[in-house]
Amino acid sequence: MATSTNSIGKNNGIRMSRRTFTKLTALGTAAALSGISSVSAIQDKFPLIESASASPEEPGVTLVKSTCSHCAVGCGFQGKIQKGVCIGIEPWLENPINRGSMCSKGASIAEILNSPLRLKYPMEKVNGQWKQISWTEALDKIANKMKEIKATYGPDSIFYMGSAKVSNEECYLFRKFAAFNGTNNVDHQARICHSTTVAGLANTWSYGAMTNPWNDMRHSGVILFCGENAAESHPVAMLHILEAKRRGAKFIVMDPRFTKSAAAADMYVRFRSGTDIPLIWGICNVIVNNNWHNKDFIAKRTYGFDKWWDVVKEYTPEVVEDITWVPADTIRQVAYDWAFPPRGEGYANCICWAMGATQHTVGTNNIRSFACLSLLMGYAGRPGGGTNAFRGHDNVQGSTDMCVLSHWLPAYYGLDEGSWKHWIGVWNRHAPITYEEMKAKFAEHNGKSLMHVKGITVSRWYEGVLNREFPINQPNPIKMAFVWGHSLNSISEMKRMKEAMEQVELLVGVDPHATIAASLADRPDGIIILPASTQFEEEGSVTNSARQVQWRNKLVEPLYESKPDWWIMQELAKRLGFGEHFTYTNMEDVLREINLGSNVIMMRESPERLKRQQLQCTTECSVFSCEDCQAKSGPLKGEYWGLPWPCWNDEHPGTPILYRNDIPVSEGGNEYRTRFRGPDSTPGNPLSDDGESMLGAAYGYPEGYDEKNSDGTDGPGWKFEIDADFKALIAQNICPSGAGRARFRAWNLPDPVPVHREPIESPRPDLVDKYPTYDDVADHFRVKCLYKTIQQERKNLVNDYPYILTTGRQVEHMGGGAETRSCEYLVELQPEMYAEINPTTALELGITHWDYIWVETLRGKCKVRAYVTERVNEQTIFMPYHWAGWLEGESYADRWPEGTGELAYGDSCNVITVDGYDRSTNMQETKVCLCKVYKA
Amino acid sequence: MVTYKFLNVIEKCIDCGACFAICKDQNKVPHGTARVQVVTINEGRPGEKNIPVSCMHCTEPPCEAACPVKAIYKREEDGIVLMDKNKCIGCGYCGWACPFGAPQYPHGLHGDLKEWEGIMDKCTLCVQPFVPLEKEREPSPRCALFCSTKARLGGDIAAILPVYREKKAIYTSRWQERVL
Ligand code: SF4
Ligand code: SF4
Ligand code: SF4
């Protein structure tokens, strides 16, 4: 464990005076603001910059470096540990991502960790009463029930809801755990936060992740937000964005709501919720019609431009104005800025989004349109450019990479035989297991092994319980569910979910808090909750949104009776008869196992390398630059912070900017993978479905090349060669994943080129027939999914439900809010659930600020405070989604076990959000539905 | 001579509340009392600005002048305005005198803190937590160090002023007219 003690004056033996210390404090701030140059300038003057982060003069206090658990920025901080207790936190000024900064959630970490409201011991609900049970009893009961259900209904009748809040190692073990339990019914938050980003980006150019690091936005010409509110969801990202703005970048925010980010922007564009695609196509339309697009780049590195233009040419600014409510001239202005960044020639622009764009029935298409906007000007793969998906949870990139998902195996391997064999090959090294043995664990259904069939998603797991007509691929309903570090109030259709929670035979909650997994269901028994320790009571690696992997140190031993998640899995595995596959004693070994198999993303960051980086970042501020996160001096010179994947081998510095091909692969260069091939492709010659070459130009090669085996021959060996280090290929500057083309047209998607589709509940009945949603789908991840039927049924809903309901974040709360709503500081800042309503609308409805109001949709209603503000326009109502504890105006606080619970409760907006789901990934639609509002 | 001050580049403050929360973490300030708070003007419309407000450690502190029992004093060596909680009678005069509403008078406390009920508390530049220590700590403004966008600068005025000027200058020149 890397620790540093209070070491003022350690380097030269002189104890600094109070004045020097504070001067440094101020300069530390200055250093963080400016780039490397001023940091080194200060270094020269004050070689003791390290002390700027030393603890106050408290004897016996150790400072332990760690990573914030609240969002995917991945801010570093230092826990102040005294006698094994975390008594507070101090800034970690040398961390290149945040240079000490944190937001209110990060600043409350110690309070959250020490919360007296945490779940303290395993508990079971019996005869309507919560009773304390021992760990042994709890685990025995759970394991026996699992065995019973597997025997009676089959392995697919247990649903495993995993978490993005645990380390990579635990995510990986969780996916492995589900596999050994013989089911693909495993899923987690990534499904409901950025699954559409992954589908959209990966189908455009191979990887589904944020392309450029946070700090890189300092070099952007234009920073364009579309459905992102970083000031509330990723506050420390604003450190870099506002620095870019200061240096001359133009910061444009496009959002249905005038967010806190919009307040900090240069330009704000308000558009109608659910019309992102026409808005982006309008911008593209202006660019192409004016001939501003980057023809050279499009010819060399992309595919399908002409067919794409056939669609996009219809979206003229005037057409778009009618759909989006954005004036045509505003669209032209944004298009001009996008083509000619006002910061100056040579700057690339980036587009950033989060849930505002992903959580739609057309989420995947939204993201595809952003990627096309980036491709159009050739900004993808350049410093300052790229497409930056701001992910949510602290380790949601990692949990996605580890694929706690119902349609993938770790590191984006599919469910086909080859992929299973690849991972079984890795697992076999820990304890013997063969493909046949694994297959025997899975059920067969309709003559097919369910091993190869996508499981049910977290967004609709309750349908797996309630639905009696499984169209194809689920033999029996779900009878038992694990809610393992997942906030249920972030899933829509909560009333149906409540019903499902009351129907399953056993519900198991695993979380540091009791959460609504314990309390939402109104049932007398059949719930067991286990106290998992927090992220700061165990160690492991976490991957932030920018693919930077950081080692999170343990601050203190698990409090109360709480246990690390991996220990719980291990104990269950033992009882279920496959304990030998989970006999790990430390997380380092698990990471090494991950390193073995994660070829697709080349996640080869060894624990040793991660810890070495942290150690270096402890001693000198100038080591990792704030400009590009690269080590500029010291033994790690050249390495990028967090070794962002692909990190090809133990010498590779990491790839901070995806698809950047003007630098060698060995220094972080990268190419679009040659991942896409139509039916006529031959090895070495990938073709699209319409016969065009999918090889792009790379590294001075006139043509690209297909995927390579590690010996240099054509073929996808790089994905499956467990022990290859690819050094020979990389020395020749060959990217083993090939050099392909990014796709304007993705032929395998429901919409190869995205088109506008009105939301299920549209405020514009006149547009529904012109821009209809999808046809109903009979089997969407094992569940039926209605689109057109319900859209047609609700075509004129706007007459009775006149307002658009949209939902989003509050800076003080995170996810379902169980942790943050239990924290006194945060609750003091944000004590109550509310709905934002425009003053004019409020006046019409006779509502005054902070009145109780009802917000009602077809699904139900919420009783909340009215927050009268011009943030929303007259047609829109906004609600934050972090709240729980009330259901349609009635508190169910009494259902929490005594001594747990939260400090602030409110109605959950996901009780009333719409029953629409993304066509590709089953992401829930939370950003558009129709509602009415009246005084309570 | 060192002079401690706060300077806020308000164009950068995003109302994230870190200053508020970390001050509570560091100084264990009880619920209902805040040494630094963010005030938002023009909320929800163009021109929205957030301003973190705390004690400004005035050069000529009106609170000091107003205090009838001389509980408030300005430290000579560094200009930090501190209070002697044992002398304070909780009359609230300093609150009236302060142009920023910095002095707070905690009420409704429980447990150990009961004895400080109604006694003035405000920013001490982290020199003293809510329950005063015998020995003062080094001044080191956690709110500024943790500020998510480095909008809040705190420390010796000679050190932070140049930073403030650099950060502020460009904000007021380039795109500002569009936002204001
Ligand atoms: S309390 Fe108010 S008047 Fe007194 S020093 Fe602080 S800001 Fe100035
Ligand atoms: S300087 Fe310290 S005491 Fe003053 S407001 Fe900031 S954190 Fe609180
Ligand atoms: S921490 Fe900084 S950005 Fe956040 S509210 Fe305080 S002053 Fe503003």
Residue B176: pLDDT over 70 = no
Task: Quote the crossing angle between the two packed helices A587-597 and A607-619, to the nearest 10°.
Answer: 120
- How many C-beta neighbours within 10 Å does residue A588 have? 19
Could you identify the atom of ligand 1 that is nearest to the CA of residue B57?
Answer: 5
- Residue B15 CA: nearest ligand 3 atom is 5
Rounded to an integer, the average pLDDT of A678-694 is 87
pLDDT digits (tens, 9 = 90+) for A703-737: 788 888 888 888 888 889 888 888 988 998 888 89
Whether A12 shows a pLDDT value over 80: the answer reads no
Separation of alpha carbons A486 and A890, rounded Å: 23
CA distance, residue B146 to nearest chain A CA (Å): 4
Which whole number is the average pLDDT over B11-27? 94
The pair of structure tokens assigned to A785 is 């999914």
- From B148, B150, B159, residue closest to A33, measured CB to CB: B150
**Does domain A123-194+397-597 match CATH 3.40.50.740?**
yes
pLDDT above 50: residue B177: no
Mutate to test the interface with B, among A87, A103, A820 (most CBs of B within 10 A): A103
Of B32, B44, B170, the CB nearest to A869: B44
Closest to A21 (Cβ–Cβ): which among B44, B138, B145? B138
**Which of A40-44, B33-37, B58-62 shows the lowest per-residue confidence on average (mean pLDDT)?**
A40-44
* Strand bridging mode A929-935 / B81-83: unpaired
Same-fold call for A123-194+397-597 versus A203-390 = no
CB of B94 closer than 6 A to ligand 3?
A: no
Phi and psi at residue A241, to the nearest 5°: -65, -45
Residue of B nearest to A26 (CA): B155
Residue A632: its pLDDT value, please?
87
Q: Is A632 exposed, middle or buried (0-12, 13-18, 19+ CB in 10 A)?
A: middle
C-alpha A262/C-alpha A248 separation (Å) is 17
**Residue B165: Cβ-neighbour burial (10 angstroms; 0-12, 13-18, 19+):** exposed
Span from the CA of B172 to the centroid of ligand 3 (angstroms): 19
Ligand 3, atom 6: closest residue by C-alpha:
B19
In this prediction, residue A479 carries a pLDDT of: 94
At A470, the pLDDT band (50, 70, 90 cuts) reads: low
Across A252-261, average pLDDT: 95
The neighbour count for residue A902, using CB atoms within 10 Å, is: 26
**From the candidates A215, A828, A838, A872, which should be mutated to test the interface with B, based on the most B CB atoms within 10 A?**
A828
Q: Please tell me the number of the ligand nearest to residue B25's CA.
A: 2
Q: Give the C-alpha separation, A255 to A232, whole Å.
A: 14
Chain A residues whose CB is inside 8 A of the B174 CB are 248
- Per DSSP, the three-state class of A892 is coil
**Residue B16: which of A245, A268, A811 has the nearest Cβ?**
A811
CB atoms near residue A913 (< 10 Å): 28
Helices (H), A34-123: 36-45, 104-107, 109-113
- Determine the length of chain B: 180
Backbone Cα Rg of chain B: 17
| A349 φ/ψ angles, rounded to the nearest 5 degrees | -110, 150
- Chain A residue numbers with beta carbons less than 8 Å from the beta carbon of B145 are 25, 28-29, 91, 93, 100
DSSP-derived pairing of the beta strands A222-226 and A527-531: unpaired
Q: What is the dihedral of CA A573, A578, A581, A583, to 10 degrees?
A: 50
Q: Is the pLDDT of residue A56 over 80?
A: no
Taking the CA of residue B14 as reference, the ligand 3 atom at the shortest distance is: 3
Residue A26 pLDDT more than 80?
no
Q: What are phi and psi of A387, to 5 degrees?
A: -120, 115
User: How many CB atoms lie under 10 A from the CB of residue A440?
Assistant: 11
Ligand 1 neighbourhood includes B125 CB (under 6 angstroms): no
Average pLDDT over residues A214-232: 95
In whole angstroms, give the CA distance from residue A105 to residue A147: 40
Classify residue A262 as exposed, middle or buried by CB count within 10 Å of its CB (0-12, 13-18, 19+).
Answer: buried
List Cα–Cα distances, A524 to A126, A129, A533, A577, A905, in angstroms.
Answer: 6, 7, 26, 31, 22
Residue A200 in this model has a pLDDT that exceeds 70: yes
Burial of A202-228, coded b for 16+ CB within 10 Å and e otherwise, reads: bbbbbbbbbbbbbbbbbbbbbbbbbbb
Residue B81 Cβ < 6 Å to ligand 2: no
The helix (H) or strand (E) run that includes residue B38 is strand B36-41
**φ, ψ of residue A718 in degrees (nearest 5):** -55, -25
Task: Give CA–CA dist A813/A887, Å, rounded.
Answer: 19
**Distance between CA atoms of B171 and A361, rounded to whole angstroms?**
39
Nearest ligand (C-alpha, residue B146): 3
Residue A299's H or E segment, with its range, is helix A295-301
Q: Which residues pair with A862 in a beta bridge?
A: A855
3-state helix, strand, coil in chain B (%, to 5): 30, 15, 55
- Structure-block tokens of residue B151: 């909008």
pLDDT at A411: 92
* Mean pLDDT of all residues in A184-211: 93
What is the rounded CA–CA span in Å between residue A754 and residue A810? Answer: 31
Q: What is the average per-residue pLDDT within A381-385?
A: 92
Q: Are B4 and B155 in contact (CB under 8 A)?
A: yes
User: Taking CB atoms and an 8 Å limit, are A26 and B163 in contact across chains?
Assistant: yes
Which of the four pLDDT bands, split at 50, 70 and 90, describes residue B178? very low
Name the residue of chain B whose CA is nearest to A813's CA.
B16
Residue A287: name the closest of A214, A337, A225, A344 by CA: A337
Six-digit token string for A816? 């379902």
Neighbours of A10 (CB within 10 A): 16
Quote the CA–CA distance of B129 and B145 in Å, as a whole number. Answer: 17
| pLDDT tens by residue, A521-564 | 999 999 999 999 999 999 999 999 999 999 999 999 999 999 99
Q: What is the ipTM of this complex?
A: 0.92
Q: State the pLDDT confidence band at A469, using cuts at 50, 70 and 90.
A: low
Contact B51, B43 (CB under 8 A): no
Closest CB to B21: pick one of A57, A107, A265.
Answer: A107
CB A553 within 8 A of CB A77: no
Block residue for tokens 């992401």? A923
Going by alpha carbons, the residue nearest to atom 4 of ligand 3 is: B16
Dump pLDDT digits (tens) for A838-890: 999 999 999 999 999 999 999 999 999 999 999 999 999 999 999 999 999 99
Does B63 sit in the ligand 1 pocket, CB within 6 Å?
A: yes
| Among candidates B17, B46, B179 on the partner chain, residue whose Cβ is nearest the Cβ of A104 | B17
Going by C-beta distance under 8 Å and a sequence separation of 6 or more, which residues neighbour residue B114? none
CA atoms in the 13 A half-sphere facing the CB of B100: 21
Nearest CA in chain A to B22: A107
pLDDT tops 50 at residue B179: no
pLDDT of residue B108: 65
Q: What is the reported pLDDT for A257?
A: 95
Q: What is the mean pLDDT of residues A338-348?
A: 92
Cis peptide bond N-terminal to A646, omega within 30: yes
Alpha-carbon distance A818 to A799, whole Å? 37
Split at pLDDT 50, 70, 90, the class of A182 is very high
pLDDT at A2 over 80: no
Angle between helices A565-576 and A168-180 (to 10 degrees): 20
pLDDT score of A685: 85
Closest residue, chain A, to B149 (C-alpha) = A239
pLDDT tens track for A802-827: 999 999 999 999 999 999 999 999 99
Best mutation target among B7, B26, B140 (most A Cβ atoms within 10 Å) is B140
As a whole number, the mean pLDDT across chain A is 89
Strands A860-868 and A885-887: unpaired
Query: pLDDT (tens digit, 9 = 90+) per residue, A596-639?
Result: 999 888 888 899 999 888 888 776 556 888 899 999 888 888 99
- How much is the pLDDT for A682? 83
Q: B133 to chain A: nearest residue by CA?
A: A58
In the predicted structure, residue B38 carries a pLDDT above the cut 60:
yes
At residue A36, does pLDDT exceed 60? no
Contact in structure between A536 and A388 (CB atoms under 8 Å):
no
Q: What band does A307 get if pLDDT is binned at 50, 70 and 90?
A: very high
Q: pLDDT value at position A48?
A: 28
Mean pLDDT in residue range A429-451: 92
Ligand 2 contact via B124 beta carbon (within 6 Å)? yes
Chain A: closest CA distance from residue B124 (Å) = 14
Give A931's Cβ-side CA count (13 Å radius): 34
Query: With pLDDT > 90 as the criterion, what percentage of chain A qualifies?
Result: 76
Q: How far is A370 from chain B (nearest CA, A)?
A: 25
pLDDT at A11: 30
Residue B171 pLDDT class (50, 70, 90 cuts): low
> According to the model, what pLDDT value does residue A546 have?
93
Distance from CA of B42 to the nearest CA of A (A): 9
Query: Please, what is the end-to-end C-alpha distance for chain B in angstroms?
Result: 38
Domain positions in chain A:
123-194+397-597, 203-390, 765-935
Instruction: Find where tokens 């590009």 sit.
Output: A628
For residue A15, the model assigns a pLDDT of 30
Residue A638 and residue A710: Cα distance in Å, rounded? 25
Name the superfamily (CATH) of residues A203-390.
Dimethylsulfoxide Reductase, domain 2 (3.40.228.10)
| Range A349-362 average pLDDT | 94
B117 min Cα distance to partner chain A (Å): 19
- Chain A residue numbers with beta carbons less than 8 Å from the beta carbon of B14 are 231, 235, 238, 260-261, 263-264, 811
Chain A environment of B44 (Cβ under 8 Å)? 258, 869-872
pLDDT band, very low/low/confident/very high, at A184 (cuts 50, 70, 90): very high
Residue matched to tokens 């808005």: A279
Give the residue among A70, A238, A113 at the shortest CA–CA distance from A812: A70
Q: Which two tokens stand for residue A116?
A: 């007296």
Which of A71, A111, A243, A246 should be substituted to probe chain B, the one whose Cβ sees the most B Cβ atoms within 10 Å?
A246
* Helices A587-597 + A168-180 axis angle, to 10: 70
Residues A125-152 have pLDDT tens digits of 999 999 999 999 999 999 999 999 999 9
**Most distant CA atoms of chain A, gap in Å:** 78
**Calpha distance A389→A208 (Å, rounded):** 9
Tens digits of residue pLDDT in B71-92: 999 999 899 999 999 999 999 9
Reading the block at residue A62, the tokens are 């150790």
Token pair 């005038």 is at which residue? Answer: A258
Q: Which CATH class is domain A765-935?
A: mainly beta
**Cα four-point dihedral sign A359, A362, A367, A369:** negative
Task: Determine if ligand 1 sits within 6 Å of the CB of residue B100.
Answer: yes
Whether residue A341 has pLDDT greater than 50: yes
Please state, as a whole number, how many other Cβ atoms lie within 10 Å of the Cβ of residue A314.
14
Distance to chain A for B179, nearest Cα, Å? 6
Closest atom of ligand 3 to CA, residue B150: 2
A718 and A708 in contact (C-beta within 8 Å)? Answer: yes
A888-912 tens-digit pLDDT: 999 999 999 999 999 999 999 999 9
Q: Enter the CATH code of domain B4-179.
A: 3.30.70.20
Of the candidates B108, B1, B162, B135, the one whose C-alpha atom is nearest the C-alpha of residue A19 is B1
The predicted model gives A490-499 an average pLDDT of 93
Q: Establish whether residue B102 lines the binding site of ligand 2, counting it when its CB lies within 6 angstroms of any ligand atom.
A: no
- What's the pTM value of the predicted model, to 2 decimals? 0.91
